Structure 1
Amino acid sequence: MTPLDIEALFTRSTGDYLFARWGRPIAPVVFGVEDATLAVVKGAIEAIVALAGHQMAETDPELGANLMVFFLRDWAELPEVPNLARMIPDLGPLCERLTQAGANQYRSFRFDAEGRIKAAFVFVRMDEDLSGMPADALALNQAAQVICLWSDRAFREHSPLALAGETVILRPEIGAVIRASYDRMMPAVARDPSHALRLAARIGQGGGGDASV
């Protein structure tokens, strides 16, 4: 990928460049799926975390679980989840906006004092389109989109996934960006587009990678 390609992945619709990665091990919990699908979702998260060279944990000492993934059929279900309104401000109005927009997924991040990701909430409404996706593709797609703070426009035109034969994989160029962004010499938070130049240089030095489930 060119530096401009990478810059676009973290340039928000407001025009601001903003990158952040996780600053603590990821401790996930998944709601709304059967045991077999639960294993697929957690496997996808583990694959992406391993690709990044980051860490998993059973629990987060401050939050218990710091990555919460919810699968649901209707946005109206969310306000009924116990204690969720305390974690997601204005949950009722948010669900109304998501319903009106016909959205099938939503991600919300929380950050520490330095701006690193400390928690994320992923909501997936299983509409007709998503219900037709294989579980492994759906899980890998969500895991890839929560490992970094991507632009709100990053994957509107192109999915982060690709097919290698019959196997769903992360697009190699996206895997390369994830690996480079978690390089210990790279900052955990960046607000200047020159960060994209540094990522491109890391990728050029062999910071690629892929993940599959």
Structure 2
Amino acid sequence: MDSILQSLVERMNDKNDHIMAPGFDSSTTISWKAHREAEKLADRTLIPQLMTFIENEKDKKNRDAAYFILGHVAKNVGDQATAQFLIDRIEREKDKYVLSAMLDRLAHLEKPTGTDLTALIAATHDKRWQVGYAAIRALTNTDDAAAETTLLQILDTSDSSYELIYANGVLHKTGTPRALPFLEKHAKSRKRDVKHSALYAIEAIKQRHNLI
């Protein structure tokens, strides 16, 4: 990885940012500014460099920073191969915070037809809530039927408000008419956020498929 990219990773993990007095403005820190810089990168040639760095880097904080950069670069240039790379990394990342943050990046990337979602689907059952919830959200931006099937299983079996809300949120963006009966069940929920997220998803699906 070139020196400029290495410097960005180091600035994102600047240790001085952890020494903050009450009332300190985090937007003035080196780390905050580096993250905002990373969000704007749109150089496709950085992608293979970041992938190689991630595969070889032992420090989890540096990998975390590299995932952040990679996710934004891939989104900004419309790269569709990065999603599979991140999915393939799921079983290799053991730290729940690094993994959940990486899944958050994955949620924003297109996962085209043919993407192997096996590891991502398995992660929706992770006992660590940070990982499980993030994996559900990461099922967005794909039209793979297996993703929707997973979400419908969650709606059919889960009693977790968070899981239901996140599944409803993804279906709001990608759901098909086969999701409607599952959503209609939760549209009657006594839990306000579950109910409203289900109603919004139902309306979005009906509009998307000209059912209104």
Q: TM-score, normalised by structure 1?
A: 0.24
Answer with 1 or 2: which has the greater Rg. 2
Higher relative contact order (CA 8 A, sep 6+): 1
Structure number with higher helix proportion? 2
